[in-house]
């Protein structure tokens, strides 16, 4: 046999070794692989035929105040131009997606931002049926909402154990991008445990390169078994469209939030009473510890669950209920997703000693929300809160804008949700009480804001 023939034969054998496993008949261990249809081509169609009926399209409407023009608001010109005197409103519409997770009760999971502020929610099923939905409850911190539709001939998705997902697993995104109607895209899990993105309060995202675009929010991310592994919620889109970086809320987080919303109508979030920060190499050296990952306890609130359990400043939390903790955000998620009164085991590194601390989480006491109109007429439509020491803004003084209603004076003035008001009329403020005192004597107000990483001035007049 010549060298050329030998090389060709060896190449053929290697090629056979590479190709044959891909086309092996389906077995229990290989059930996640695409199957072959009658034309001997790989396809996900059989899985999708069972899955897509559970993914629905959402359209919402909310009343928004029309744009006001000082000339058109003048009674003389309104009569001259025959403009009606009644309040002028326009209907705002948005389009998103949802997933049926309980066919017998008609429960549908979607994103909070999809249905937030909606007066009506209309659901379109895969078979063309259009149904009215009612809101069961929502949680802005996790961006999860539960709505309900009539439970007649519905298909629901089973939730997978998202903790078993691995980078490289194949996934399929199903939703309603750009309002085109139900669309399916595929890709892989690009990363796990993404947090610190500032998208929402509790972040533990699955990152995927399956195409996710505006309108996919609230839609399904499924594995090749057709199980729900996540709810699509956000993208990084510098140009306004998909660039291969999308994020989904893991199914385990969704399940926990959903169960509380259905039971209580809201989420009773757990609370230890600590301020935390990431364990950095510099802190590890300063504490003379060998751990590479964890959350450092920066402060312990008096009379809190943490204080009662003996947790101390400088402790490093390594795991919660036997789940490893990567950083401060990871610890915040782990505790915040526990129910009030639930037992929790903390593995802690204190100096060179490893401790196990068992305690129960307290109820998270959220700050009282204040209507911006009670502070100043220019802030009407905004909801404000003092910054909680256990928020994602530890040490930041000021007032947090938690919501802004579309078309309101606050929105028209340029105020956004998650803005931090640090000062008013060149005077620094630390809380709502200080804000209210200064604003009361002002006709127009100039706000100093922290928006993301940027500081800016906003004049409301």
3-class DSSP assignment, residue 377: helix
Q: List, in sequence order, every residue forming a beta bridge with 92; answer none if it has no partner.
A: 62
* 217 counts as catalytic: yes
Tell how far CA 207 is from the center of its chain: 12
Q: What is the helix, strand, coil percentage profile of the chain, to 5? A: 20, 35, 40
By the 8 A CB rule, do 219 and 182 touch? no
Cα(421)–Cα(273) distance, integer angstroms:
25
Using a 10 angstrom Cβ sphere, with 0-12 exposed, 13-18 middle and 19 or more buried, the burial of residue 211 is: buried
CB 401 within 8 A of CB 447: no
For the residues of 162-218, what is the DSSP string, one character each? Answer: GGG--TT-EEEEEE-GGGS--EEEEEEEEEEEE--SSSSSS--EEEE-S---TT-TT
Q: Nearest to residue 389, comparing CAs of 239, 276, 228, 268? A: 276
Do 256 and 185 meet the contact criterion of CB atoms below 8 Å apart? no
Active site residue: 97, 113, 138, 329, which one? 113
CA–CA separation, 19 vs 163, rounded Å?
31
DSSP state, residue 409: H
Tokens 């804000």, located at residue: 435
Supply 255's token pair.
């399940």
The first and second tokens of residue 151, run together, are 């439970």
- Do 203 and 329 form a contact (C-beta atoms < 8 A)? yes
**63 tagged catalytic:** no
Choosing from 142, 162, 211, 217, the catalytic residue is 217
Tokens at residue 221, please?
Answer: 């991310």
Annotated catalytic residue within 143, 209, 315, 327: 143
Pairing status of strand 205-208 against strand 183-194: antiparallel
Cα–Cα–Cα angle for 182, 186, 187, nearest 5°? 150
Q: Is 74 one of the catalytic residues?
A: no
Catalytic residues: 113, 143, 217
């Amino acid at each position: 046999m010549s060298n050329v023939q030998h090389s060709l034969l060896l190449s053929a054998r290697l090629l056979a070794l590479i190709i044959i496993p891909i086309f092996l008949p389906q077995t229990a261990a290989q059930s996640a692989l695409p199957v072959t249809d009658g034309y001997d081509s790989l396809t996900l169609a059989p899985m999708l035929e069972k899955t897509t009926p559970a993914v629905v399209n959402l359209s919402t409407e909310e009343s928004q105040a029309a744009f006001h023009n000082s000339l058109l608001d003048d009674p003389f010109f309104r009569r001259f131009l025959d403009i009606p005197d009644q309040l002028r409103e326009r209907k705002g519409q948005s389009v998103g997606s949802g997933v049926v997770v309980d066919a017998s009760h008609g429960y549908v999971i979607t994103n909070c931002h999809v249905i937030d502020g909606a007066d009506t929610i209309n659901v379109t099923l895969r078979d063309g049926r259009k149904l009215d939905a009612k809101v069961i409850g929502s949680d802005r911190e996790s961006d999860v909402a539960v709505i309900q539709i009539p439970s007649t001939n519905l298909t629901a998705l089973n939730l997978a154990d998202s903790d078993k997902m691995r980078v490289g697993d194949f996934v399929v995104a199903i939703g309603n991008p750009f309002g085109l109607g139900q669309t399916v895209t595929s890709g892989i899990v690009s990363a796990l445990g993404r947090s610190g993105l500032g998208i929402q309060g509790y972040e533990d995202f699955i990152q995927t390169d399956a195409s996710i675009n505006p309108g996919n929010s609230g839609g399904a991310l499924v594995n090749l078994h057709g199980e729900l592994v996540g709810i699509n919620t956000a993208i990084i889109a510098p140009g306004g469209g998909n660039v291969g970086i999308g994020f989904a809320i893991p199914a385990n987080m969704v399940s926990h939030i959903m169960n509380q919303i259905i039971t209580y109508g809201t989420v009773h979030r757990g609370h230890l009473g600590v301020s935390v920060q990431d364990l950095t190499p510099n802190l590890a050296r300063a504490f003379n510890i060998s751990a590479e990952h964890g959350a450092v306890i920066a402060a312990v609130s008096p009379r809190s669950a943490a204080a009662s359990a003996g947790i101390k400043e400088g402790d490093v939390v390594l795991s919660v209920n036997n789940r490893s903790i990567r950083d401060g955000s990871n610890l915040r998620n782990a505790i915040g997703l526990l129910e009030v009164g639930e037992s929790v085991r903390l593995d802690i590194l204190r100096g060179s000693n490893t401790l196990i601390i068992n305690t129960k989480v307290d109820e998270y006491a959220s700050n009282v929300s204040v209507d911006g109109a009670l502070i100043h007429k220019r802030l009407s439509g905004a909801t404000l809160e003092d910054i909680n020491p256990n928020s994602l803004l530890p040490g930041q003084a000021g007032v947090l804008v938690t919501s802004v209603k579309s078309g309101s004076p606050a929105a028209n003035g340029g105020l956004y949700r998650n803005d931090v008001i640090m000062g008013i009329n060149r005077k620094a403020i630390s809380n709502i009480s200080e804000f209210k005192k200064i604003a009361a004597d002002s006709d127009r107000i100039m706000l100093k804001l922290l928006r993301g990483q940027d500081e800016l001035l906003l004049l409301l007049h």
